[in-house]
Amino acid sequence: GQERVRGVGLARVFSVKDWKLVRTIEHPGTVNGVDFSSDDEHLAVIGDYDARIYRVSNWSMRRQWSLARDDSFFGDDPHIFVSVRFNADDSMLAVGASHGFVYLYDVASGRLIRRLNKTGQKTEIVEWSIDGRHLLVAGHGYSIDFYDVAKLRDPSIDNDSMPFALRAPVTDGMEC
């Protein structure tokens, strides 16, 4: 991923066989994160106000989600996408954002499963447990938070009642 130059960022995909450039994908802003699906059929590219999933077979865009560019709720500090990960079976995409937000999307339908905020601090890291049962969230807050994915998917649990599977305090913010 590359910082935006004149409003455009780039994601570059290289072959691990010979390290040749395979594809350059333009993105409307800084590219803060990329992730391949476990089957290598899709590539997620996120940054600034857009999250996109591309089909690797022909590099066409499969899904796109956008944040409001003119959201004045956060003052002069823009609300942007920061980190991204597919879950183990590639059915969900977790996207971390500024101001402590985490977005959980259904890849097949494009539906927003949940928008969550527990810290108010930038979410630098989203990661799934190997078995897919937990989502780890960390960033500029002073904890590493683990959520039970079944509970995140349960619409009867509101965000204020969402329990942590584990909240591990740390002495410094997490970056990667």
The pLDDT, as a whole number, for residue 69 is 85
What are φ and ψ of residue 47, in 5° steps?
165, 155
- Compute the average pLDDT of residues 44-50: 96
What are φ and ψ of residue 98, in 5° steps?
-65, 165
pLDDT tens-digit profile of 16-43?
999 999 999 999 999 999 999 999 999 9
The pLDDT, as a whole number, for residue 176 is 61
The pLDDT, as a whole number, for residue 121 is 87
SS3 29: coil
135's tokens: 């989502």
Nearest to 116, CA basis, from 171, 168, 50, 164:
164
Rounded to two decimals, the pTM is 0.93
